[in-house]
């Protein structure tokens, strides 16, 4: 299996090279040359397979022979060492909880998978030169990446996050590790952070002296393993015998795009719902066919504050860049913060279940879709633990009595961060302060 650049002006590469580079030299996103179909026996027997077996079979075609079977098994076993429970709210509505990893964000799986793959490739190559993972975060990416790569040999991690726009716990998750992890607090928005990352990748003064790679979901090793969530859900829900609908709270559209990949690999799904906040580029696009990002709007579901979602080109590619074909599998709705807050309250009152603001947006999308499709079985993805958003959650559901272990020890820790205001300061860090 090889990967080509969606800009089509770069050579095709194997999985390991796509992971090390992150983005193609022509600045295109890598995309698999073909979409592997999993065999009928896989779908027929999925309920008997362990999550590690599912993961090995599903990821093997993507990694090809860049990772031997034993190492792949070791990697996925390590990456998937926590639960992915389905919690049923009522008859045909459930949530898939993706927050049981070390940073309580669904991004843990992608970040851990990428870290272990990259570690594996560097070891194989006996690489003595350091690789720098440069990443922008709107909230959860940074924490998951920092934890995933913490103390991985040969890798340095640099994280950019928008000042004042991530939650306290999210900020601590980025800034308290130290060691090979450096966090920069950027005076700007997430889109500003992402723009700086893109500029650094294009900057020869930096790339001549440092091997940079990205750990945003543009990296195939972060993007693709997310398809496993959908397979795990299918394994549990197949017996219901109903058409499945997934509602995915979406920002950069990596998660939902991975779900769509699982579908193209043979998994039956009736519809995907991309639920977004007040950053409405995609629902507007689905209506009009015009892709017109606007300024990013800050919301209480901050990890989805993205107006120009980088993975949407992959979504389009999965459907031959045909809006008609795409709309038969993708519906997109947007919700404002008031609706999100009201939903956190409703779900708490009706089910004594606490959703985080992102999950609440997902739930709203699911409800809107199910109104017209009462026969479907709906799953909304709960992408982060609500405890990471206390200022939103506590006024609605009251004070948390007991914090989960993952955050307990963060609360009193002081973080280390460096403030930067513009690209030149970031460049200075790479070229002046830390010459390699």
Ligand X SMILES: *Cc1c(COP(=O)(O)O)cnc(C)c1O
Task: Give the binding site for ligand X (CB under 6 A).
Answer: 105, 107, 139-140, 217, 249-255, 303-304, 358, 383-384
The CA distance from 268 to 129, in Å, is 44
Closer to ligand X by CB, 254 or 378: give it: 254
Minimum distance, C-beta of residue 237 to ligand X, in the bound complex (Å): 21
Cα angle: 322, vertex 222, 434; to 5 degrees: 125
Q: Which long-range contacts (CB under 8 A, 24 or more apart) does 32-38 make?
A: 32/1, 32/2, 32/3, 32/62, 32/220, 33/1, 33/2, 33/3, 33/4, 34/1, 35/261, 35/264, 35/265, 35/318, 36/1, 36/61, 36/62, 36/265, 37/265, 37/266, 38/265, 38/266, 38/267
Strands 3-5 and 418-420, sheet pairing: unpaired
Residue nearest to ligand X (CB): 140
Kindly provide the residue ranges of all beta strands, DSSP E only, lying in 289-409, ordered along the sequence: 330-334, 377-382
Closer to ligand X by CB, 10 or 316: give it: 316
Minimum distance, C-beta of residue 59 to ligand X, in the bound complex (Å): 18
Minimum distance, C-beta of residue 421 to ligand X, in the bound complex (Å): 25
Q: Taking a C-beta distance cutoff of 8 angstroms, is the pair 82, 100 a contact?
A: yes
Closer to ligand X by CB, 251 or 378: give it: 251
Minimum distance, C-beta of residue 18 to ligand X, in the bound complex (Å): 18
Minimum distance, C-beta of residue 142 to ligand X, in the bound complex (Å): 10
Cα angle: 322, vertex 328, 334; to 5 degrees: 95
Closer to ligand X by CB, 145 or 177: give it: 145
Minimum distance, C-beta of residue 252 to ligand X, in the bound complex (Å): 3
Minimum distance, C-beta of residue 388 to ligand X, in the bound complex (Å): 8
Closer to ligand X by CB, 113 or 430: give it: 113
Closer to ligand X by CB, 201 or 272: give it: 272
Cα angle: 54, vertex 85, 234; to 5 degrees: 45
Closer to ligand X by CB, 32 or 251: give it: 251
| Alpha-carbon torsion, ordered 245, 29, 436, 117, to 10 deg | 50
Which pair of structure tokens corresponds to residue 82?
């926590």
């Amino acid at each position: 299996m090889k990967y080509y650049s969606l800009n089509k002006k770069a050579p095709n590469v194997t999985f390991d090279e796509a992971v090390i580079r992150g983005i193609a030299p022509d600045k295109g996103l890598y995309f698999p040359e073909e979409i592997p179909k999993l065999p009928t026996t896989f779908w027929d027997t999925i309920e008997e397979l362990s999550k590690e077996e599912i993961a090995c079979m599903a990821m093997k075609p993507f990694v090809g022979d860049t990772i031997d079977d034993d190492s792949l098994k070791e990697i996925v076993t390590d990456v998937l060492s926590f639960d992915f429970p389905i919690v049923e709210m009522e008859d045909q509505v459930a949530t898939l909880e993706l927050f049981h990893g070390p940073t309580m964000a669904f991004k843990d799986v992608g970040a851990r998978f990428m870290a272990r793959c990259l570690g594996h490739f560097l070891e194989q190559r006996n690489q003595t030169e350091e690789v720098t993972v440069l990443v922008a975060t709107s909230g959860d990416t940074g924490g998951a990446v920092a934890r995933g790569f913490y103390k991985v040999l040969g890798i340095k991690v640099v994280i950019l996050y928008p000042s004042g726009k991530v939650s306290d716990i999210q900020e601590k998750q980025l800034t308290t590790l130290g060691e090979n992890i450096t966090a920069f607090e950027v005076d700007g928005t997430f889109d500003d952070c992402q723009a700086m990352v893109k500029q650094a990748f294009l900057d020869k003064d930096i790339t001549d002296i440092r091997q940079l790679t990205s750990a945003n979901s543009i990296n195939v090793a972060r993007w693709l393993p997310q398809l496993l969530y959908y397979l795990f859900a299918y394994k549990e829900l197949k017996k219901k015998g109903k058409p499945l609908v997934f509602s995915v709270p979406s920002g950069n559209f990596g998660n939902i795009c991975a779900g769509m990949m699982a579908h193209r690999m043979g998994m039956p799904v009736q519809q995907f719902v991309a639920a977004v906040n007040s950053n409405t580029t995609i629902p507007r696009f689905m209506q009009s066919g015009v892709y017109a990002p606007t300024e990013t709007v800050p919301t209480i579901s901050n990890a989805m504050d993205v107006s120009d979602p980088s993975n949407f080109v992959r979504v389009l590619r999965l459907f031959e860049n045909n809006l008609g074909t795409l709309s038969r599998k993708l519906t997109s709705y947007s919700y404002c913060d008031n609706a999100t807050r009201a939903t956190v309250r409703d779900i708490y009152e009706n089910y004594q279940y606490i959703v985080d603001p992102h999950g609440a947006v997902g739930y709203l999308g699911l409800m809107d879709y199910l109104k017209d499709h009462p026969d479907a079985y709906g799953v909304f993805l709960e992408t982060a633990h609500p405890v990471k958003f206390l200022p939103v959650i506590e006024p609605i559901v009251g004070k948390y009595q007991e914090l989960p272990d993952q955050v307990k020890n963060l609360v009193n820790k002081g973080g280390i961060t460096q403030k930067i205001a513009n690209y030149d300061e970031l460049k200075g860090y790479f070229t002046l302060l830390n010459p390699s």
